[in-house]
Chains A and B, each alone.
Chain A
Amino acid sequence: MTHTVTTIENNIALLCVDFSDEGVNLQGEIRIPGGEEKALQYLPFFEIDLRNNYSYLFPVSEIIEGGTET
């Protein structure tokens, strides 16, 4: 995932994320009051929410079942 932060009016930061680098066509943007620092604080939560809400877009890693040899 890549992200950018740009400041728009009244000290509001626009946080933009893009999952194209993971092969997922998903982009999001959110306004965060308080500037770039606050935006970066919220970034992990925004990312997790998007991954959860759009879980159907992300590839599911296979769980390899196995046992221990006796």
Chain B
Amino acid sequence: MPYNTQQIKRDQQNSPIPQYFNPTTDVYEALLGRNGANRVELYGPDGNPIGTTNGKLNVRASEIETLLAGGLPAALTAGGGLKVGVVDALPAGANIVGQVKLTDGTDGLLINTNGSLNVVPVNSAGTELFTAGNPGNVQLTGSIESITSAPAVGVKTVTATAAEIFAEASAKANRRRLILKNEDPILRFRIGPSTVTQQNGFPVEPGAVIEIQFDPVTAVPIYAISEGANLSVAVMEI
């Protein structure tokens, strides 16, 4: 029914109250409000009410429109991404961060081709270490110079037939050093790889001591051969 067929609302003094006509219910209803203002529903230029999402108006402010229309490109990266300042901690996950500067210095952190961080060690004064002018002090632990197990000792007979040389019943596992002492007062013996001969091996003079250092994780057999008669060699493996 049209509004002019309905009775308007009145107060106790029979005066009209602020009201509006509700076409859905076909009656006048009192206007509600708060803080001295009426409740208002916003309508867009298309005549439809502006909706809300989670209690917020679905409105793009003019400032945002301005940014989107031309203000943002100056802040975009070459790839079209937004340049942003990271304030909060990055969430866990595969975040890819490009060049990072820890301070306002001119040099950014460098990433190696294998993905590791390129780190230049410096001392407390900021001077780069391990250079020719500032070599720095280093203490190694667990190096192959250290003994980690009991040494193996024994005496081996070296003959004119080349044979592997070691201290005990077989070469010491993960040995770091092989020490040989020629106990013969006259004869030399020679050491080398499996192709060692009485001519091409490295000579060990009578009474001489030779030390060979190894990478403990790589087993390398050493062979010995006498230049003449059989002789005894004292052997220690560390």
The B contact surface, by secondary structure, is loop
- Interface stretch among B20-28, B53-61, B117-125, B157-165? B157-165
State the interface size on chain B (CB cutoff 8 A): 20
Q: Are B194 and A12 in contact (CB under 8 A)?
A: yes
Is the Cβ of B221 less than 8 Å from the Cβ of A41?
no
Q: Would B169 and A45 count as touching, CB distance under 8 A?
A: no
Is A32 engaged at the interface, CB distance under 8 Å to the other chain?
A: yes
| Nearest B residue to A28, CB-CB | B169
Which of A12, A32, A54 interacts with B169 by CB under 8 Å?
A54
Verify A42–B155 contact, CB threshold 8 A: no
CB <8 Å contact, A53 and B162: no
Give chain B residues whose Cβ lies under 8 Å from the Cβ of A33: 162-163, 194-196, 223
Query: Taking the nearest CB of chain B, how far is it from the CB of A2, in angstroms?
Result: 14
Question: Do B155 and A46 have beta carbons less than 8 Å apart?
Answer: no
* A45 smallest CB distance to B (angstroms): 4
Identify A53's interface contact among B155, B163, B221, B223, CB under 8 A. B155
A14 to B167, CA, bound (A): 17
In the complex, chain B residues 183-234 whose Cβ is within 8 Å of any chain A Cβ: 194-196, 221, 223, 230
Would A31 and B223 be within 8 Å (CB), given that A42-B159, A42-B163 are in contact? Answer: yes
A interface with B by C-beta (< 8 Å): 10, 12, 26-34, 38, 41-42, 45-46, 48-50, 52-54
CB-defined A-B contacts under 8 Å, sample of 26: A10-B194, A26-B169, A27-B169, A28-B168, A28-B170, A29-B169, A29-B170, A30-B163, A30-B166, A31-B221, A32-B164, A33-B194, A33-B223, A34-B161, A34-B162, A41-B159, A42-B163, A45-B157, A45-B159, A45-B230, A48-B157, A49-B155, A49-B157, A50-B169, A53-B169, A54-B169
